[in-house]
Structure 1
Amino acid sequence: MKTGSAIPLWIIALLAALCLVVLGWTTFGFTMPFEHETGQAVLDTYFSGYDVSAVFHMQALLDRNETASRILRAMYFGPELVFPALLAALLFLIFLRLGPTETWRGRRAPRLLGRIIYILPFIYGLADYGENISSLVAFSDSGAAGLAAQILPWMTKLKFASLAVCAILILRGAILHWSREN
């Protein structure tokens, strides 16, 4: 993969716009009504993470409030089916457009490091889907609800950690790309 891949900028812009539309759909169509209904935010929005006790608290809240349970389920079967894939594709195409990491800490980067970076968007996507599936199972009457409740906080942490690393690497890549051109 060469620097400045042949990915047209309009495709990246279109994917970014689609991500914003789906994020708006999620926010205004589901997370805000959920918070209005329950007085509590959806666990997916806890950027700093949460623990298993928060999952058990949410389970109890959803058991008492059928409307909130329907809102949450509709969110996972609506915009949350497409958003992780759209964002993972956007991140991957941005990495392709910026090109491989050529230097790391002032030295030539190992080839393996340059290739691993392209896997990060897919780690984010899988973690987000894993979080969504864990939420659906944890907030159901399934026998695996307890296991899913244990996994759920870790999937959220992995999702946000991989997203943060992607954002940092994209910023770094954009700065290096800009400095090479100037």
Structure 2
Amino acid sequence: MYSLIAMTRRRRAASDVLAQGYVSLRRSGGKAAGTVRTCDLLQTPLEVHAPIGRRLLTTATLLYLEKNKQTLEISLRRHTMSCEDLLSVDYEVFGRVQGVFFRKFTQAEAKKLGLVGWVRNTEAGTVEGQLQGPGSKVAEMQSWLRTTGSPQSKIITAEFKNEKIIKCLEHSTFKVVRS
């Protein structure tokens, strides 16, 4: 049986390592079995249970490993979603959303839901951004953007466009972009 271990050179959030980094496949005895890019391996984020020093153990367990002309074909038991469930959507929120900590609360809610992307103020007085993650979590965040926002905000409407299924997360975390 193999286990999946993400290796880092610096201390970083587990989601950053898994979204951008490489993972090492190790046998239970500790001998390395190979290294592949996270996107190629999973096409979905992993839940990380326990950071142990520089090794981040995940819930994924390798069930099948086959070399085929220098390509690793890997089947993993996925605990939360399939690769078709990974969505990306752009959004813009209208109303009283600037000067009321809307971006800060948006970032906190997105991180709580395990989403990645970005948020920024626009010159038109709105807030815009992009969300990426599991479809159910993206839908939760869309609802939050339509109805909740920050405590002092007054949301008139939220528009969502360019919703698409993606193979791999394009961002490593959820960032507030300064404009």
Range into which the TM-score falls when normalised by the shorter chain: under 0.3
Whichever structure has more strand as a proportion of its residues is: 2
Relative to the length of structure 1, the TM-score reads: 0.26
Q: Which has the higher contact order (CA 8 A, sep 6+)?
A: 1
